[in-house]
Structure 1
Amino acid sequence: MSIFSKIHDAIFGHKAQAAPAPAPADASAPQATQQASPQPAPTPQQPVDVEANLSEMAQGKNLNWKTSIVDLLKLIGVDPSYENRKELATELGDTNYSGSAEDNIALHKAVMQKLADNGGKVPADLLD
């Protein structure tokens, strides 16, 4: 599994865990009625509020996940080592990652942009 997939699943899965399971269909209803009823159209999936999910996960922890890629990775349980950050940067298209402060800032912004591109609601201040 890619590093970005781990990030995505940790943040997007966090919301899914809080959602209640759908109620089972009434077994006492006649089968013909169930088949004759039109199925409702699936509702479009709402964007996942990335900031809200991460803020909830960060409660009680002293992590600066809004600007630090290392703290973001720590928060979601991904090893923040240089090797993993370099692999993540490569996944996101940066083949010149050196681990400098500037690279880490750019990597954090790239992760936030990729989350937004994949259905996440990310505030503008985390993107630029």
Structure 2
Amino acid sequence: MSLFGSIMTKIFGGSASAQAAAPDASETPNVSAATLGSSVAGSSSSSAAAPSMAGAASPVADSPSLGSQTVDVGQVLRDMAERKGETSNYKQSIVDLLKVLDLDSSLSARKQLADELQYTGDKEDSATMNVWLHKQVVQKLAENGGRIPADFHHA
């Protein structure tokens, strides 16, 4: 399974894995309404739209809503972070986000994720790549039915 598929599975649940197995520039994974129905519900005060990313157009972004049920990504991650009992900056850091999800956060894993998400920048500039990865992951979670709190968005 792709690293992004693993991220989707950890946040949206098991049936998201088949649909998120291989995201690329022309196809973004979708999460079915059934998957969303079994997800954690949260408060509407934390909802926010994902910002547009230049060069990251996706057919999902223009698709009709997946239904009235969404996954509160902020609540799911907050609960996971609390269970770990560690202080983390998963709202801004791809490394911390991967750690909260119990996924490989190594540089090689992040380079793999960059390849999956079609990163065209210099992968040796890990700081720039990491910021881009976090933005892309947050955007793709939103495109697939995730409600993203405003404090997840980068300036």
TM-score, reference length from structure 1? 0.71
Amino acid in the other structure paired with 1:114 = K
Question: Is 1:124 aligned to 2:147, yes or no?
Answer: no
Aligned-CA RMSD value:
2.2
The 1-side partners of 2:104 and 2:125 are apart by 14
Amino acid in the other structure paired with 2:132 = A
Amino acid in the other structure paired with 1:53 = V
The 1-side partners of 2:136 and 2:95 are apart by 14
1:75 corresponds, among 100, 118, 122, to 100
- Name whichever structure is richer in helix by fraction: 1
| 1:95 to partner: Cα distance | 3.3
1:109 corresponds, among 125, 131, 135, to 135
Match of 2:2 in 1: 2
The 2-side partners of 1:58 and 1:65 are apart by 9
Q: How does 1:6-25 map to 2 (within 5 A)?
A: 6-13=6-13, 16=38
Contact 1:58 1:75 in 2 (8 A): yes
Identical aligned residues as a percent: 49
Instruction: Report runs of 4+ in structure 1 exceeding 4 Å deviation.
Output: none
Amino acid in the other structure paired with 1:103 = M
Larger radius of gyration: 1
2:110 corresponds, among 65, 68, 85, to 85
Distance 1:99 1:58, change over 3 A: farther
| 1:45 to partner: Cα distance | 5.3
The 1-side partners of 2:118 and 2:39 are apart by 31
The 2-side partners of 1:66 and 1:11 are apart by 14
The 1-side partners of 2:105 and 2:89 are apart by 13
Structure 2's unaligned 5+ residue stretches are: 15-35, 42-66
1:94 corresponds, among 119, 127, 150, to 119
The 2-side partners of 1:113 and 1:18 are apart by 19
Amino acid in the other structure paired with 1:127 = H
Amino acid in the other structure paired with 2:6 = K
Corresponding residue SS for 2:90? coil
The 1-side partners of 2:146 and 2:8 are apart by 9
The 2-side partners of 1:83 and 1:117 are apart by 26
Question: Is 1:58 aligned to 2:65, yes or no?
Answer: no
Amino acid in the other structure paired with 1:47 = T
